[in-house]
Structure 1
Amino acid sequence: MSNTEREEVLSKARSAKDVAPTVAQLSTPRKNEILQRAAENLIAHTEDILAANKQDIDAGRERGMSESLIDRLSLDAARVEGIAGGLRQVAGLQDPVGEILQGRTMDNGIQMKQVRVPLGVMGMVYEARPNVTVDAFGLAIKSGNVPLLRGSKSARNSNAKLVEILQNTLAEFDLPREAVQLLPCETHDSVQDLITARGLVDLVIPRGGAKLIEAVVTGATVPAIETGTGNCHFYVDASADLDKAIDMVINGKTRRTSVCNSTECVLIDAALEDSAKLRIIAALQEAGVTIHGDVAELEAFGVEDAVQATEEDWREESLSMDICAKVVDGVDGAIAHITEFTTGHTEAIAAQDADVLVKFGNEVDAAAVMLNASTAFTDGEVYGMGAEIGISTQKLHARGPMALPELTSSKWILQGTGQTRP
């Protein structure tokens, strides 16, 4: 990366740091007005957004971008409306800033309280999903933070148009345009410059594929929160309502294959009749899903046209109409397989045996555990949090969908009357 480009990253980071106190002090009504107006402006400029997005899609197809990535990149009028709706939803959520988490009075009369405060400058590194640009803006503003956005080169035109609209919205409220900024994306070096900007950037959040997340988390010298990939499993127990189980598996796999909560592996209880096992696999195949697994194991109960699974198939998300399938020895076998291959995102079970459900819920270690529900429900908006900034798979203060409270820190305020410590 040229010195000029590096200086652009650092210059924008300095500007973000400079305006952070202004954003942190915005009142809740003011924040909500900004978000509502931003939603209106996005809808009003839908044609401009879609024209910019078309440039990105055309360029992506010319470069041979996969259809799953094209889907992540693509916008249409309905998706723009959905993005705007996410801002409106965030505007309607409780403002976490200023919330008193705990407090008491010391024996010496000093009053103490722990209060939620903004993090400050929030760096985002993400791939070909322009909706993240707006999601990050909305959640950052409502939680009193300044977003510094490093989107992918594949979405450069879409992101530029969206940020232009958001900056113009801020200007309507006499706020600095630097309260949301887009960083250069020509080379990967700009990511490194962002994630090592100690003293300027308070937190960095990667959102995308495994390689991007690993690069950010291992290379960052500023605090980073890991939003992990989703190698999500669905276990069908012998006690399950089979019709409902099949519906949940198909929904988790086919609703939208390019998202991190897509079901990537179905685990089938060995105690099920062979005909029941075959029903599960056949239903997936009829839905257009390719089955990967131990071909001999699958053929033993009548499966045809299965593909021999590789080690990579078991460990990584496919983000496509492909799924791994394996027969396991009951809930213990399912938990053992999940423990070995999970990315800690979402794990699900279909069962009617209450003891099996309790065991699965207690022993599976993931950010979300679904008991008789599709993996597709791991989503900040579905949880009622508004558009989340990502699904955290690490075990610090934020785990699962990261919404407003997870984008704050806290500080202690102690008020005395002149006390001194002996």
Structure 2
Amino acid sequence: MNHLLSIEKRNAVLNRMSVLLEQERANIKAINQQDMGNYSGEDLAMEKRLLVDDAKIDGMILSMQQLASQEDPVGQIRFDFTHENGMKVTNKTAAFGTIMIIYESRPDVTVEAGGIAFKSGNKILLKGGKESLLSNLKIVSLWHQALEENEIDTNWVEYLNYNRAETQAFLEKPTQKIDLIVPRGGEQLIEFTKKHATCPVIVSGRGNNFVYVNQEADLKKALDIIINGKTTNIGVCNALDKVLIDTKLPNWQVFATELVAELKKYNVEILGDTAFANATQVPTIENEEIWYEEFLNYKIVIGIVNSDEEAIEKINKYCGGHSASIITQNDAVAQEFMENVDSAAVYQNASTRFTDGGQFGLGGELAISTDKLHQRGPIGLQHLVTNKWYVYGDGQIR
């Protein structure tokens, strides 16, 4: 049984980790190059996530420093009540216990997600993808060094070097108690985890995000936001996949043509619904199913709607429940849209690429949840807790 570590101990490990990452920078990059060399390279987004360069190590170090400086998420009082019989009843945040993180390809998750879960007082089980094995093992060895130097058992951070069959067996019959599983990766990984897990799973990482260009849109903003959402990073869940344009937008065909020309500069494959394709000569979508798809690629689908209601309905039908943005100068229309679109994050006149714990002021994130329990959107330190009731009496009986 791992007893809760004091906040001083937890912070000392995180601070030490930031120093070790800097010291081992050259080694981490060299070992990561071995992983890169072993990777077959058929998936562009995967390869991007696998690479560890100086910028990624800088990010890892910063996340350790920021986590160490944040207040303890455990033991925060959420509710206080004094019973008429004199009993004091308090509800406080508590650590889950053991959190398992299953992820693909991204060695930075070994640092950042591990760090968030550790700071929240949890024991961590890491199950990374085989493509990043050497990088992950190197980083876990630094975790162990940081723990040992602070006289803490290294089993607080454990790496499970399992293949698919072993992972499935572990999920179905864990050899140790697990309280929460967080899969970070594509839909297959999430489905696999949900199907076999015997404890709660936080589902994260599916996007299929929409931008709706309302009739009162500032078209310069619309263009910039769409280009930013689609082209800055294709392999992330907050990237943009779908655009809807209101037919009441004055000369919408002119804007449509401009948008297509701009996207083509970035070699984005553009597909349209019948009306959009007719107006711009882009290929027409083959069937409606494509509206459900998340592309993680230089590909976008653009369609036309006749009203705000139709836009809201279409987004709620097809989107992944992650992020949606309305481009409009009319605040009342924006508010109506934001209240009725069923996504974890809704925007007015801003890019969906901001749905991220760091950008939302959480100081990093463990995941971006599209579930409604127990927390939606970016899950930061302060959400990675459960709660517990503390009741103080002096002999009360009911």
Aligned to 1:167: 144
Secondary structure, counterpart of 2:188 in structure 1: helix
Matched, 1:105 2:78: no
2:35 pairs with 1:56: yes
Which residue matches 1:391?
368
Deviations along 1:206-232, whole A, 9 cap, x unmatched? 111111111211221112111140011
What is the deviation of 1:86?
Answer: 1.1
Q: Name the residue aligned to 1:293.
A: 272
Identity of aligned residues (%): 37
SS of 2:126's equivalent in the other structure is strand
Contact 1:197 1:222 in 2 (8 A): no
Find the counterpart in structure 2 of residue 8 from structure 1: none
* 2:295 aligned residue (318, 330, 354): 318
| 1:181-260 correspondence runs (5 A) | 181-194=158-171, 196-197=173-174, 200-260=177-237
Q: Report how far residue 347 of structure 1 moved.
A: 1.0
For residue 300 of structure 1, give the secondary structure of its aligned residue in structure 2.
Answer: helix
Q: Does 1:116 align with 2:93?
A: yes
Partner SS, residue 267 of structure 1:
strand
> CA 1:198–1:184 in 2, change beyond 3 Å: closer, same or farther?
closer
The CA deviation string for residues 318-337 of structure 1, in whole angstroms up to 9 with x for no partner, is: 11111111111232121111
1:376 alignment partner in structure 2: 353
Structure-2 change in CA distance of 1:377 and 1:309 (3 Å): farther
Q: What is residue 40 of structure 1 aligned with on the other side?
A: 19
The one-letter amino acid paired with 2:236 is V
Residue in structure 1 matching 2:156, options 164, 168, 179: 179
Alignment partner, residue 115 of structure 2: 138
Given that 1:166 and 1:180 are in contact with CA atoms closer than 8 Å, whether structure 2 keeps it comes out as yes
Residue 373 of structure 1 and its aligned partner are, at CA, apart by: 0.8
Partner of 1:5: none
- CA gap of 1:198–1:362, structure 2 versus 1, over 3 A, is farther
Contact kept, 8 Å, 2:171 with 2:198, in 1: the verdict is no
Query: 1:312 offset after TM fit, Å?
Result: 4.9
Q: Distance in 2 between matches of 1:292 and 1:309?
A: 9
Q: Paired residue for 2:393?
A: 416
| Structure 1 Cα separation of the partners of residues 382 and 174 of structure 2 | 24
Counterpart contact for 1:235–1:349, Cα < 8 Å: yes
Cα deviation 1:4-59 (Å, max 9, x = unaligned): xxxxxxxxxxxxxx3x31xx2x2223322221210111121111111221111111
- Asked if 1:269 is matched to 2:254, the reply is no
Is the contact made by 2:123 and 2:156 (CA closer than 8 Å) also made in structure 1?
yes
1:69 Cα deviation (Å)? Answer: 0.9
In 2: Cα distance, 1:177 partner to 1:153 partner: 22
What secondary structure sits across from 2:396 in the alignment? coil
Aligned to 1:6: none
1:213 to 1:280, Cα distance in 2 relative to 1, 3 A: same
Q: Report the AA paired with residue 286 of structure 1.
A: K
Tell me the amino acid that sits aligned with residue 33 of structure 2: K
**Structure 1 length-normalised TM:** 0.90
Q: Distance in 2 between matches of 1:307 and 1:50?
A: 44
The runs of 5 or more residues in structure 1 that have no matched partner are 1-17
Q: Gapped runs of 5+ residues in structure 2?
A: none
User: Is this contact kept in 2: 1:266–1:325, CA < 8 A?
Assistant: yes
Deviation readout 1:124-155 (Å, 9 max, x if unpaired): 11111111111122111211001101111111
| Offset at residue 313 of structure 1 (A) | 3.1
**Runs of 4+ off more than 6 Å:** none
Q: Which moved more, 1:284-293 or 1:410-419?
A: 284-293
Residues 195, 204 of structure 1: 8 Å contact kept: no
Counterpart Cα distance in 1 of 2:65 and 2:185:
25
Deviation at 1:309, TM superposition (A): 4.7
Aligned to 1:282: 261
* CA RMSD of superposed structures (Å): 1.6
Matched, 1:27 2:6: yes
Post-superposition offset of 1:341: 0.7
In structure 1, distance between residues paired with 2:93 and 2:175: 22
Amino acid at match of 1:39: S
In the alignment, the residues of structure 2 paired with residue 188 and residue 233 of structure 1 have an alpha-carbon distance, to the nearest angstrom, of 37
Post-superposition Cα deviations, 1:227-285, rounded to whole Å, max 9, x if no partner, equal: 14001111111101000111011111111110000001111111221112222222222
Rounded Cα–Cα distance in structure 2 between residues aligned with 1:370 and 1:198: 43
**Could you tell me which amino acid in structure 1 is paired with residue 275 of structure 2?**
E
Give, in angstroms, the shift of residue 311 of structure 1. 4.5
- The 3 A distance-change label for structure 1 pair 300 and 358 is same
1:208 counterpart letter in structure 2 = G
